[in-house]
Structures are given as structure tokens and as C-alpha cells.
Amino acid sequence: MIAPGRFISLEGGEGVGKSTQARALAAALRARGLEVVETREPGGSAGAEAIRGLLLGGASDRWEARAEALLFAAARADHVARTIRPALAAGAWVVCDRFVDSSIAYQGADGLGREAIMALHAIGSEGLLPDRTLLLRLPRAIATAREIERDAGAPDRFGLRDDAYRAAVEQAFVTLAEDDPMRWRMVTAEGNPDEVTARLLDSLADLL
């Protein structure tokens, strides 16, 4: 019988290096002999990638908060059914750049409560949660500088939102982490990338 894999998500605000660290963490886990599936949200399956274009393109106010939450939930449902659950059942580790906690933080900052997001998640994805969620934290000034360099003047819809919204998102992540210390680990994203990856691995030591 194949042992089930592990599901790891990376979370954080804009510019903290989630995508870079998701790739680095996946490589480090493979170096330990593990089978690893790298994926992202929104996206990670054909249907979810199609919805990603709707969610990230256009004006910052393109979608009303409830419509946006429904689109994220639909993308996640397809992603979970077609990518995440099959990988876990096959014994692979899944490293995901964002998951449902991002919906709680981002759509929550638009006024939707955690309960509403989790109700959609219970229907669409049967309430699946990661085994470990790693929250990357970085001072806002450093994160903003990284974000500007990364986007080269072409931010997505969420990158267009103001500082008050970003602060609300970052605080929402911290609150989620503090409320569930068994699942979450907060990791500083300062320093060179290899140092950050080493911190992430340390945060998974009990699962390895």
C-alpha cells in the first residue's frame, strides 16, 4: 500500500518570494529522494489555469468580492480534484504556491469572513487543508521593492491595490498562523534565497 504524500502550501503577501521559494523547496525535497509535484493557485490544472486569467487580468475592481471568491473556489475545486488529491494518493509531496488561506486573507480583506470562504471550500474541495503551511514574512518596504522589480511595471489585479489593503492581507495571514500553530509556521524571508530555503526545510523537519 502506498503511503499518502504530504501537502505543503506557501503563503504571504505580495513580493515575499513565494514562487521562488516554492521552486527551491521542491528541489530541496527532491534532493532528499522524495517525489514532488509543484503547483500554484489560482491554477495548477487546465480548468483552474483558465480561471486564473479571469482572476488576475483587468482592473483591480473587475470582480465584486463574492464573485471573486466563487471563481477562486471553482478554480481550487478543479485543482484539488485533478492535481492535488491524485498526487497525494500516489505518495507524492505537493508544494503549492498559495491555497485556501490566500482566499481567506485576500477576499477577507474585501469584507468576506473566514466562515464564508471555508463554506465554499467545504463544497468545492471537501475542506482539504495542507499538512503544513509556511508563511513567508518580509518588511513591507523590501517586499514592495521586490514586487516592482518582479512585475516590471505590469502588476496583476492584486498588485494594483493600495497599501491599506496589503496591510489587511498581511495581518490576516498572521492571525491565521497564530490561530493554528500546529499547521502553520512563520518564516522570515530576509537574507539570501538559500538561507530562506533552509529555514523552510527546518519548518518541515517533523514531517520529513
User: How much is the pLDDT for 4?
Assistant: 77
- Cell of residue 135, nine digits: 508563511
Beta bridge partners of 134: 10, 185
Residue 132 binned pLDDT confidence (cut-offs 50, 70, 90): very high
Q: Where are the domains of the chain?
A: 7-202
Distance CA 178, CA 156 (A): 29
- Stated pTM of the model: 0.89
Cα angle 167, 99, 143 (rounded to 5 degrees) comes to 35
Q: Is the peptide bond before 86 cis (omega within 30 degrees of 0)?
A: no
pLDDT at residue 157 greater than cutoff 70: no
Type of residue at 175: T
Main-chain dihedrals φ then ψ at residue 94, nearest 5 degrees: -110, 125
pLDDT exceeds cutoff 60 at 152: no
- pLDDT computed for residue 63 by the predictor: 80
List the Cα angle 130/136/137 in 5-degree steps. Answer: 145
Q: Out of 49-58, 85-94, 106-115, 136-145, pick the least confident.
A: 136-145
In sequence order, the β-bridge partners of residue 97 are 10, 40
Neighbours of 9 (CB within 10 A): 26
Which CATH fold topology does 7-202 show?
Answer: Rossmann fold (3.40.50)
For residue 46, what pLDDT band results from cuts at 50, 70 and 90?
very high
